[in-house]
Amino acid sequence: MTTAWNWYVIALVLFNLLGVAWLLWWTAKRRPGDPKPEEISHYWDGDITEYNKPMPRWWINGFYIAIVFAFGYLFWYGGFGTYQGLGKWSSQGEHDREAEVANAKLEETFAPYKGQAIDALARDPQAVKLGKSIFANTCATCHGSSAKGAVGYPNLTDDIWHWGGTPDQILHTVQDGREGVMPPWGKVLEGMGGPDAVDYVIAYLHQLGETDGGNRSDYAAARGKTLYEGVCVACHGKDGKGDPNVGAPDLTDGYWLYGDGRESLRETIGNGRHGVMPAWGNILGDTRSRLVAAYVWSLSHQAKPGTPAPR
């Protein structure tokens, strides 16, 4: 807040408080010629009358006390522009104190699970329950309450993991995040294979995943294979199995993060995709990250609770 705005706020606050005090004093003051309190000075409908009695003194004093209290409140808690107040109170400070108390309770709850391996936590029903509650508060917005994902957000209940599905890989994803980039290859492919180049590659991808039910053009798939090997093989591999080290998905498993329809694939190949998984390590901390990773890992590894972890 600039100095000018600071003084503007101070002046506005003082004007309102002092103005209310003056108005109260002015209206309560009796002047020469005013009717006596017991005199009747107004009539309505012929027989409805009104006395001219002022407000009780205790009522007026109550207003004055409220005004004095307002000044005291503003001096103690702040309210005159950037003045912090004698009590140095702030909503941020109040939040930090309450957060510190809440975090202390949470740390006590999470302490038994500190530093434990993900697969070991996944075999502890209470740890999985805690991980599920953390997931509901942080991850369900994108992946859904059932963790089955949506278009552009992966399903976490199956065995398909673009960045790897080992316990350590899942923990790395939760704590450090992931950023998957599919470059736009439309112009490059058209320069190599003509205006139908993207459709040729789609035909080949359908052949790889056998998703077209046999209704494909062998010529288009053959052209697509040549284009694929000239562009896509660097990330997805010659056999289309992908590379979890760079987040390149397996193109043979029939799972398509953004959909397998022709228009969706044209958009993916032609204009690219950019998916971001935020890093939650600094927000959740190590133990809570481990608990949510254990819950996610348990969704696709249905080990019986109480089963000893592998050695």
Q: What are 86-145's pLDDT values in tens digits?
A: 888 888 889 999 999 998 888 899 999 999 999 999 999 999 999 999 999 999 999 999
Q: Could you report how far apart the first and last alpha carbons of the chain are, in Å?
A: 61
Give the pLDDT score at 306.
45
Q: How confident is the model at residue 2 (pLDDT cuts 50, 70, 90)?
A: confident
Distance of alpha carbon 278 from alpha carbon 208, whole angstroms: 31
**Helix or strand or coil: residue 274?**
strand
Nearest to 17 by CA among 86, 75, 58, 100: 75
Answer for the pair 86, 76: CB distance below 8 angstroms, yes or no.
Answer: yes
Which tens digit of pLDDT belongs to each residue from 205-236? 988 876 444 455 588 999 999 999 999 999 99
Mean pLDDT of 25-51: 75
Question: What's the pLDDT at 217?
Answer: 56
The predicted pLDDT at position 160 comes to: 93
Mean local confidence (pLDDT), 265-289: 95
Q: Output the pTM of the full model.
A: 0.68
CB-based contact 208:252 (threshold 8 Å)? yes
- With a pLDDT cut of 70, the percent of the chain lying above it is 92
pLDDT at residue 309 above 50?
Answer: no
Up-side HSE of residue 27: CA atoms within 13 Å toward CB? 12
Q: Mapping DSSP to helix (H, G, I), strand (E, B) and coil, where does residue 179 land?
A: strand
Please name every residue paired with 49 in a beta bridge, in sequence order, or none if there are none. Answer: 43
How confident is the prediction for the chain on average, in pLDDT?
88
How large is the average pLDDT for residues 270-297? 95
Does 307 have pLDDT greater than 70?
no
The Cα–Cα gap between 282 and 5 comes to: 37
Other CB atoms within 10 Å distance of the CB of residue 109: 12
More confident: 224 or 310: 224
Report percent pLDDT > 90 for the chain.
67
| pLDDT band at residue 304 using 50, 70 and 90 as cut-offs | very low
Tokens encoding 300: 């696709």
pLDDT in tens, 236-272: 999 999 999 999 999 999 899 999 899 999 999 999 9
